[in-house]
Amino acid sequence: MSEILSLTPTHFPDYELIDSGHFMKLERFGKYITIRPEPQAVWDPEQNMSQWEAKAHVRFISKSSSSGDWKKLKDIPDQWQVEYQLKGKAAGSETIRFRLGLTSFKHVGIFPEQAVNWEYISESISALKVEKPKFLNLFAYTGGASLAARASGAETTHLDSIKQVVNWANENMQLSRLDNIRWVIEDALKFVKREVKRGNKYHGIILDPPAFGHGPTGEKWKLEDNINEMMKLVLEMLDPNEHFLILNAYSLGFSSMILENLVRSSGRSQNPEIGELYLQDKYQKKLPLGAFARYRTGLAK
pLDDT for the residue 88: 65
59 part of a folded domain:
no
pLDDT for the residue 275: 94
pLDDT for the residue 163: 95
3 part of a folded domain:
no
48 part of a folded domain:
no
By the 8 A CB rule, do 91 and 151 touch? no
pLDDT for the residue 268: 60
Q: Give the three-state DSSP class for 279.
A: strand
17 part of a folded domain:
no
Q: Give the three-state DSSP class for 292.
A: strand
Question: The domain containing residue 139 runs over which residues?
Answer: 78-297
pLDDT for the residue 91: 45
27 part of a folded domain:
no
Q: How many CB atoms lie within 10 A of CB 279?
A: 23
54 part of a folded domain:
no
pLDDT for the residue 65: 75
By the 8 A CB rule, do 158 and 130 touch? no
Q: How many domains does the chain have?
A: 1
Per-residue CA distances from 85 to 11, 12, 45, 249 (Å): 8, 8, 30, 24
pLDDT for the residue 89: 55
**What is the spatial distance between Cα 210 and Cα 249, in angstroms, rounded to a whole number?**
7
- Return the bridge partners of 243, or none: 297
- Read off the CATH number of the domain in which 247 is found: 3.40.50.150
pLDDT for the residue 4: 85
53 part of a folded domain:
no
116 part of a folded domain:
yes
Average pLDDT per 10 consecutive residues for the chain, totaling 301 residues: 84 97 98 96 97 98 89 97 83 81 94 96 94 96 97 96 96 97 96 97 95 84 89 94 93 82 72 93 96 83 48
